[in-house]
Amino acid sequence: MICKPDAVERGLVGEIIGRLERRGLRLVRAELRQVDKETAGSHYGEHLGKPFYDSLIAHITRGPVLLMVVEGPEGTWQVVRTMMGATNPAAAAPGTVRGDLALSMTENLIHGSDSAESARREIGLFFP
């Protein structure tokens, strides 16, 4: 999981981690780090060429993010995605991080892996 620069800037990292912990998930690794453009490009490679790609890269690299590895039962990636809410905060349900705390598609506070395979790939990218 990544708490994006807007989450760090708005002081919402504690709120986001608190939600995960209260749910019963465990933070096993975390690092505040400024992501460079090359790493951001690898991370978001599937979005290359899309109209929002440049703003996505600009956003994730504009300030420190909190990179996190969260552990829990099998399928934890799915639990995290559900807690995050829809990518577009306008459609995110109340009770989710985005539904409660975000309004912008680019500044949507968090990123969560969309499969167990993506989680492995992303953990390998950010914690080689």
Which residues are near ligand CMP by CB under 6 A?
Answer: 47, 52, 56, 87, 105-106, 108, 111
Closest approach, Cβ 56 to ligand CMP, in A, equals 5
Block residue for tokens 């995110």: 92
- Supply the minimum distance, in Å, between the C-beta of residue 35 and ligand CMP: 12
Residue 2 · residue 111 · CB < 8 Å: yes
CB nearer to ligand CMP: pick between 79 and 105: 105
From residue 109, alpha-carbon distances to 8, 61, 68, 74 in Å are 8, 13, 13, 24
Which lies closer to ligand CMP via its Cβ, residue 52 or residue 127? 52
| Terminal-residue alpha carbon distance, the chain | 15
List the catalytic residues.
Answer: 111
